[in-house]
Chain A
Amino acid sequence: MIRLQRRLRVDRRRSITLRLAGVVISLLVAGVVLQISGSPALMLGRRAVETMTTPYGMEQGLVLATPILLTALAVALGFRMRLWNIGVDGQLYIGALAATGIGLNVNGPTWLMLTLMMVAGAAGGAFWILGPALARAYGRVNEIITTLLMNFVALQVVNWLSLGPWRDSTIPDLSATRRIPYELPILPGTNTVPIGVIAPFLIAAVVFFIFRFTTWGYEVDISGGNARAAEYAGIDVRRRIVSVMCISGAIAGASGAILVAGTTHRLSSTISNQYGFSGFIVAALAAGAIVVLILVGLLVAGLLVAAITLQTLGLSVDAVLALYGLILIGNVVAEVAARYRVVRTTKPPPELQFAPAEALAGAGPQGLSALTAAGSPPESTD
């Protein structure tokens, strides 16, 4: 009989291979559907690939990937403790706001100012989640709701500043702040990619190291797995909740600072293209694996770039979104599939079975009769 059997543990490499297969299959399915419905699927596909592989397309992808990967990392960090930071967008905005505030109001050498902006961004993000974090740790207030609500507050604050006190009044109809005089340098070897693109890779490496090698990472994992056991082990779970949420907020805030310092140069209430939302999806798809998170984040960014091209070629927004969804579903299926294997279920060959003689050594006559009874109906009871 052929059957699916659950694996005891998931192999990362298999998971990544299956996900790639999932992307390919999703694209094939989409192509067939498009072809049937009368669109030139092959041409569209070629153009999309062309876009993604031109230097400009790749650079655009990296620019988009930066905030997506950073917010994904922020969310994934919370997941380690089963905490849901739904407020990454809000923290991103407040991080951007803090960085803009420094950039517009303080003067200094560029390198120093950029450093200050990054620090301010991270601090802003951490500050924005501090309330929900404390409420969660000490009052058991559900963080999903509080972090979500803080998003709306953040957006209003940014709106008010960028339309009010900080607004650039020299340009009519511009609903953004003045231009920040400090800009992140461009990554050597590219034309448009700000140096901030290395941030997600650096942070991912640090996060990976922390959870693989440090006692702090271990304590966080244990607290996420069973808070009562963590307390029993002498771990101060509440402090871990606060620090994990604040670091998560700081990463999201830093991504806001990188966004204004490297890409938008002005603060407005539209700088985030729902990056937090994409980041959330990426984190959920990665299911806790950092390497997978990076790959999925790059994939999503690439899809967004290709989507722009496809739209200019006449594919409707809905069709593009459906394609996007199809690929994500392919990923989910692959992730689940990686946990199973197909087996032919039979009795194992004799060398894999427990050596019966050893198993039943010294069992006396009953043991021997069990040996002969193995594979036949149970020994009867006179």
Chain B
Amino acid sequence: MYDPQPPDVQNDQTVACADARATVVEMADIWKAFDDFQALSGASLELQAGEIHALLGENGAGKTTLSNVLTGIYRPDVGTIRLDGEQRRFHSPAQAIAAGLGMVHQHFRLVEPLTVAENIHLGRPELPRRLSRRRLISETAQAMEQYGLTVNPTARIWQLSIGEQQRVEILRVLLRGARVLILDEPTAVLTPSEATELFAVLRRLAASGRTIVFISHKLHEVLAVSDRVTILRRGMNVATRPAAKMTPEKLAKLMTGTERVMEAPRPSKGRGKPVLELRNVSARGDRGLVSVREASCTVHEGEIVGVAGVSGNGQRELTEIATGLRHPFEGTVAIDGQDLTARLPGDFVSAGVGHVPEDRIGSAIVPSATVVDNAVLRAFRTGELSRAGVMRRGAVRVFTDRLVTAADVQLPDIDVPIANLSGGNQQRFVARREAWAADRLLVAAHPTRGLDVRAADQVREVVLDRRDAGCAVLLVSDDLDELLAVSDRIVVMYEGRIKGDFTAAKARRKEIGYLMGGGDLVGGAGAEAPS
């Protein structure tokens, strides 16, 4: 029968907040081991109503694990969780969300073929008994308005940009009545403008009395958006501090325990022969639209070419063309003078191309396979690791050990599924593996995304080392600072076209920004004729 209860009574805009500084959550002395691996060793966290609380720490410090304990995904071995002063024990995520603790994960958990409205209502406990499409849509639209998070309710998830998908995830959690909202590295996948929008939303939510836990490796944004900061190291608390009293340097030091050593800029020792040559390539994206248009680009031995641009302007498709994962419908792709247009990715691998893709979890690792199997994903055909189709298992293990050590990956041991590694450790692993695979060309999309300060520095070093060893590097990033720091040349992508070509020395932030926004440079003004 028809359920007369009006929709969304329990999702009132203002959550009861008598005292803005009241302690909402108190996690004390939390211990959590995976087999013999101690992920949390007495960590604690105290959250107040209406605050944005940043959780910081190096890769593998235990940030995700601590959040998972709070939201009922893991049960702590030892430790207490108090909610509003009352001790609670959650046996499932459902119980935690019923108590108002919700989480938006590092990797989204949406049902791709369903619409936004359907996803938002999926598994919502107080669903009216009779549902119509129209009702779902209107309730979704209403909630969006209420929280200032708008997405087309009838769009299907796979049609959305990452930023829009994230808004859907947040809405989903809010509609279940979350008072405490944990966001695990929400900005790692966002463009700078999307991130700015997200921060506005977070501030509004905090102003309405909710508590936001914000996990990030980008120290500037942490300081800009949060009220307090808790720092974890190796599963233990180092400090909790008001953000206003901190600087990025102080935070980095607390996280790592050492001063950050800045390497002096390392200019190229001069470039050699062309390695990657793209000639007038055009290609379609996943949704069938032309997303790379007549792009031409040459990357030489010993040079790093940075690709700047706002995410979604064809950078991903460009990297896929350069590695054989996507075939252009016009134009040619050559590596070392050899025409590889329309050849299989395997031919690019044999030609010495390494690739750190944007979506590492989805396309560069096999989550269910062991660390060993993932380590040799690129190199298993080489004589070092196999002979005549037979794997040399001893050599494979030695190779894995070397890779894991070089990449400074924290892990229980190399025979566990790689899915058990922390997000950042997976990223380090892929970045180093691909640097090793890249004999001639390294194509890297956002290689430092999701990495802590120290690991990001290390990955930048590796990229520079490859270049100095004579490898060509195509580096995509939406972080202009990073591009300016390591690139020898910078090109800009806008709506699938490659525009501008700056030598790093002459590159001016303003001009690049102008091109990224769709402007055109006329004549000289710092631009060079493409080589």
B-binding residues in A (CB < 8 A): 1, 3, 5-9, 213-216, 218, 221-222, 225-226, 228-236, 343, 345-348, 352-354, 356, 359-364, 366-367, 369-370, 373-381
Contact = CB atoms under 8 A, between A and B. Distances in A.
A234 B257 contact: no
Given A215-B380, A348-B33, A379-B237, A374 B42 contact: yes
A96 to B, nearest CB: 33
A359 B367 contact: no
Interface string B206-241: 000000000000000000000010100111111111
Contacts of B44: 373, 376-378
Contacts of B77: 1, 3, 343, 345-347
Contact of B234 (A225, A345, A354): A354
Interface of B is mostly: mixed
Given A234-B344, A359-B234, A366-B239, A229 B364 contact: yes
A369 B349 contact: no
B350 A234 contact: yes
Interface residues of B, number: 69
Nearest to A369: B239
Given A9-B416, A360-B257, A214 B389 contact: yes
Contacts of B42: 347, 374-375
A7 B416 CA distance: 10
B363 A228 contact: yes
A216 B37 CA distance: 33
Interface of B: 26, 28-29, 31, 33-38, 41-42, 44-46, 75, 77-78, 228, 230, 233-242, 253-254, 257-258, 323, 325, 344-350, 355, 357, 362-369, 373, 376-378, 380-381, 386, 389-391, 393, 412, 415-417, 420
A379 B42 CA distance: 13
A374 B254 CA distance: 16
Contacts of A233: 345-346, 349, 377-378, 380
Given A367-B238, A381-B241, A362 B344 contact: no
Given A233-B380, A376-B44, 16 more contacts: A8-B34, A9-B415, A225-B368, A231-B345, A234-B345, A234-B381, A346-B78, A353-B38, A354-B41, A363-B233, A364-B253, A367-B257, A374-B29, A378-B45, A378-B237, A379-B240
A359 B364 contact: no
Given A225-B366, A229-B366, A8 B29 contact: no
A361 B38 contact: no
Contacts of B368: 225-226
B60 to A, nearest CB: 12
Nearest to B347: A234
A353 B41 CA distance: 8
Contacts of B41: 353-354, 374
Contacts of B240: 378-381
